[in-house]
Amino acid sequence: MVYASGKPDLKKSRSLKILSYNILEGLKDKEKRALFVRLVDSLQADVLTLQECNHFTHETFLKFAQELSYPYAVLLKEKGYPPGIISKYPIENVQRITEGFLHGYISAEIAGYQFVNLHLNPFMYVKRNAEMEAVIRHLDQLPKNSKTIIMGDFNSLSPQDSSYYNPNKQKLDKLIAHEATRAHIQNVNNGGFDYSVISQLINKGYTDAWKYKNKSRFEKSAPSPVVKHDPDNDVRIDYIWVSTPLKSKIKSVFMIKNKHTDIISDHYPLVLVLKK
């Protein structure tokens, strides 16, 4: 990726391409990191919003971004499972939110768009709900008609996928049995699948970009073959949401599934292309 002027020209671009990807504990395997670098090089996205950027410091994360030919990078924190943002364009007005979260989120402005990159609690729907309530309060404070994009690993099921989940009693029974021996896990809500977390975004008028383009189709975002395959484990928990001003700007949205993304992470990458 080469910039003749040293900086990309946003005004000349006709679209904004965004990658959202849970990179499984920071690409600690050399082979996985090499495959990720190849993926990024071929995709040529403008912004990379990543989750599980483990083992990076703020300094090494910026260095990693520069190795990918991106000049800007922001990491939430240096411990745990932090989200991170890598961008062609300056990342401005950065807010790093960890209080009240197991992992947390980054809020920032990039090229006139408001980005919120998050990773929600995987263990309890009640705690995820509280985290999402905090995110919603933050979103409510943004200027009206902001061009807002919310993405990440939500660890939450969507009611818009309920026609796939609800008939699957075997899947639900496995979840209930799994939780019966693990006191720290509570993702079953009143004996059924929980949709309350994602419902908060829907009720606020945000649009699930994937579902907007794939209304009648379910496609899992996890797990990849990194995890032993069991069809009952298939879930769509990775999302990119947009505010109303961007709904009509959704050009395309897709997951990347190939022999490389089958092994880079236990999640699949999700890509959104917006018309300018």
3-state DSSP call for residue 108? strand
Q: Which residues contact 79 (CB under 8 A, 6 or more apart)?
A: none
- DSSP H helices in the chain: 24-27, 30-43, 58-67, 125-140, 162-165, 169-180, 196-203, 209-213, 244-247, 261-264
Question: What architecture does CATH give domain 15-156+196-275?
Answer: 4-Layer Sandwich (3.60)
Largest CA distance in the chain: 59
Nearest residue to 150 via CA among 92, 88, 105, 203: 105
Stretch 88-92: mean pLDDT: 99
Q: Give tens-digit pLDDT for 175-227.
A: 999 999 999 999 999 999 999 999 999 999 999 999 999 998 999 999 999 98
Which DSSP letter does residue 26 get? H
Contact 165, 63 (CB under 8 A): no
What pLDDT is attached to residue 2?
Answer: 30
Q: How far is CA 245 from the centre of its chain?
A: 20
What pLDDT is attached to residue 231?
Answer: 74
Q: Give tens-digit pLDDT for 21-64.
A: 999 999 989 999 999 999 999 999 999 999 999 999 999 999 99
What pLDDT is attached to residue 11?
Answer: 65
Q: Which residues contact 150 (CB under 8 A, 6 or more apart)?
A: 116, 118, 135, 139, 201, 206, 239, 240, 241, 242
The Cα–Cα gap between 78 and 87 comes to: 19
Tokens 């997951």 belong to 255
Binned at pLDDT 50, 70 and 90, residue 229 comes out as confident
